[in-house]
Amino acid sequence: MAETQVPSNAQVQQWDNDYYVDYVNRNWFRKFEGTGSSSIIQIKEDLTTKPGGTITCHLVNKLVGTAKNHNETLEGQEEDLTLRTHDLAIREYSHAVRWPKFQEQLTAIDLRAAHKDALMTWNMELDRDLVITALGDINGVKYSLASETQKDTWLVDNADRVLFGAAVANHVSGDHSTSLATIDNTADKLTPEAIALMKRIAKAASPKVRPFKAKSSVGDVDTYVLFVNSRAMRDLKNNSTYQQQLRDAGSRGWTNPIFTGADLVVDNTPVYEIEDIAVVTGVGASSIDVAPVYLVGAQALAKAWAMRPTTVDDEFDYKRKHGLAIKQWYKIEKLRFGTGATDQTDFKDHGIVIGWFAAVAD
């Protein structure tokens, strides 16, 4: 009696689909992703259905003009809609595993399936590392690779959305390294007051760093999210003001995964500890280590897909060895817009305020 057999290529396609769904569901940053312009990480999938190597994100700044009354002239008083763009150039990220085919004879398990977890772990660590790198980059250059000139230029353009330690006055105009050197281990640790100050900076920036809307049991809530490294989180937890707030009212938040999954909620801002955010060693006052923290709002980052994770099988050494590769075409970048004459001049980060705080080792 004839039995219908599922073609091997269909099995591989289903495996790839399952892998992608699992990858999305297990992705730590998933709760911050969405296709809308109010998401912290905006997903763009334009190139999954058409050829091309670049995706354009449109950044629309809010209108600030005043309303006119019935007896006031409206014509000629229109406000220009400030429309800027950010281009993301897609690249490939791939990895592979290989094993002797003879091992398939010796084991009852499906070695292809067995390598799924290893590839999944690699994939998710890649995604996490790309997000962290993008948060701190200097106009598309990884922070650790950016020159002092590049950092100074970035600081001039982003002067309205940075904080060095506890006080705005610590910022030395146009000099990134000198500004870092003002941070000491007494007054410039991460505190609830510093978080509140970063929020005020975000709201006063030009253009404003927009909060994103989070749905909760009390309705839509406008909020920011703060990503900090382990040392900054340690100092925040040890802060007497935070400890008193915790004793008085406990951790405040809403019944929403964005808040309930946070490590802390301070001034209605969920705070997440990301241990992989690296410290900048020896740059503060008396050569102390300093850590960046990131207050993010809407459209802080973009993730552009051209090809979702796809596997490729291959055989080597007269078909004695089996290989499995995973590849994907995408890009994660911090969104920025040109504030000069064109989209490519005087870049300013779109949805983020960066603070640097003391982060001495234990």
- Residue 324's pLDDT is what? 83
Question: Could you tell me which of 31, 22, 328, 82 has the C-alpha nearest to residue 208?
Answer: 82
Q: Which residues pair with 253 in a beta bridge?
A: none
In Å, how far are 144, 268, 272 from 259, measured between CA atoms? 31, 9, 10
Strand pairing category for 301-316 and 41-44: parallel
Residue-wise pLDDT tens digits, 36-71:
888 899 998 877 777 778 888 877 666 666 777 777
Residue-wise pLDDT tens digits, 300-352:
999 999 888 888 888 888 888 888 888 899 999 999 988 877 777 788 999 99
325-349 per-residue burial string, b: 16 or more CB within 10 A, e: under 16:
ebebbbbbbbbbbbbeeebeeebbb
Strand pairing category for 321-334 and 91-100: antiparallel
pTM: 0.85
Q: Is the pLDDT at 118 greater than 90, yes or no?
A: no
